[in-house]
A = this chain, B = another copy of it.
Amino acid sequence: MALTIYDISKKAGVSIATVSRVLNGSDSVKASTREKVLSVIEKYDYTPNAYARGMGLHSLRTVGLLCADSSDLYLAKAVYYLEQELHANGYESLLCCTGYELEDRQSYIKLILSKKVDSLILVGSHYVSNIEKENNYIRDAAKQVPVMLLNASYNCPNVYCTLCNDYASTFEATSSLIRAGIDDILYLYDSNSYSGTKKLSGYKAAMKSYKLADYAPFVNFYGGRTDQIESITNFIQDIADRGTTFHGVVASDDQLAVGAIKYAQKNGLRIPEDLSIIGYNNSMLTACCQPELTSVDNRLETMTHQLVQTLLRVLSGEEMPAESVFSGKLIKRSTTP
């Protein structure tokens, strides 16, 4: 059986209260006593029981990290940054890969709350198809702990949002192609998420502002797994085969854009002369393809940093802004003119 605070107090010749004070860094312990206790702790390699501690402290310094799929290129990075930042501040992460089904997400949240996490971080925006319901259970969760949203916005007490202006970024990405003389621009997206709808609006607004409002045939939703490049390529091939012609592609993530590159290569199209392509997230994939992919950097590392800092301050009782919005940046590489 593991050592308890009683064992340590006995070995150090003090009371458990004193050991506890040393553990919690109280300043009302004589230096010599502290030394003695610390040396005993060191010697016997004692670590306090986190659950007993949680009962006293009402916190286990653990947060729930929810995402649909932590193996997704983008979400994996988000999870990684968050975990690092949290750990650096003394918090651990309970990872939950909820999948995309609303009910699974909901039951996961209940489960995690029962583990008495100090906060809930929802990584990747929530899904618009059920936005009412999703918002409902976020609101319920927020009654218990602060809820942090990454890449989503929901105005609700105790919910804090950190996001990137995906509308503006996609507007800019689309506009840059239009300015280069391309007016038949395929918009490929993959998720009905909060940020997904923002991106779509950005694309539409850009098309509209250049009087290219009849963009309807160019908007296409890919419903498969974005890690299966081949099926993305087939998806685009289908679009082309059905008679839609396009000389530009704006995609909601890099995987879709890579699918477009492969499509071009299979059809002997030159990039960017015959087809210009812009991805999103500025992931490592941008460097894996040839030519290298122009992509929108949506400031993931900056956002995750901000999110955790906000959380820490909220937990320490500070009043914090409910929303922090950053600006994305178009990183030009070789798939655009």
Residues in chain A within 8 A of chain B (CB atoms): 2, 47-52, 54-55, 60, 62, 65, 69-71, 73, 76-77, 79-81, 83-84, 87, 92-97, 108, 110-116, 144, 227-230, 255, 258, 261-262, 265, 284-285, 287-290
B-side contacts of A289, CB under 8 Å? 288-290
B-side contacts of A227, CB under 8 Å? 284
- With contacts A51-B60, A94-B93, A116-B50 known, is A287 near B230, CB below 8 A? yes
B-side contacts of A77, CB under 8 Å? 71
The quantity of this chain's copies bound in the complex is 2
Cβ B71 vs Cβ A80 within 8 A: yes
Cβ A51 vs Cβ B48 within 8 A: no
B-side contacts of A71, CB under 8 Å? 76-77, 79-81
| A70 in complex: contacting residue of B52, B60, B62, B70, CB < 8 Å | B70
- With contacts A83-B70, A262-B290 known, is A110 near B47, CB below 8 A? yes
Residue of B nearest to A80 (CB): B71
Cβ A97 vs Cβ B83 within 8 A: yes
B-side contacts of A47, CB under 8 Å? 110-111, 113-114
Cβ B229 vs Cβ A65 within 8 A: no
User: Can you list 19 pairs linking A and B with CB atoms under 8 Å apart?
Assistant: A47-B113, A49-B114, A51-B51, A51-B116, A55-B55, A70-B80, A70-B83, A73-B73, A83-B96, A83-B97, A92-B94, A92-B96, A92-B115, A93-B94, A230-B287, A255-B284, A258-B288, A262-B288, A290-B290
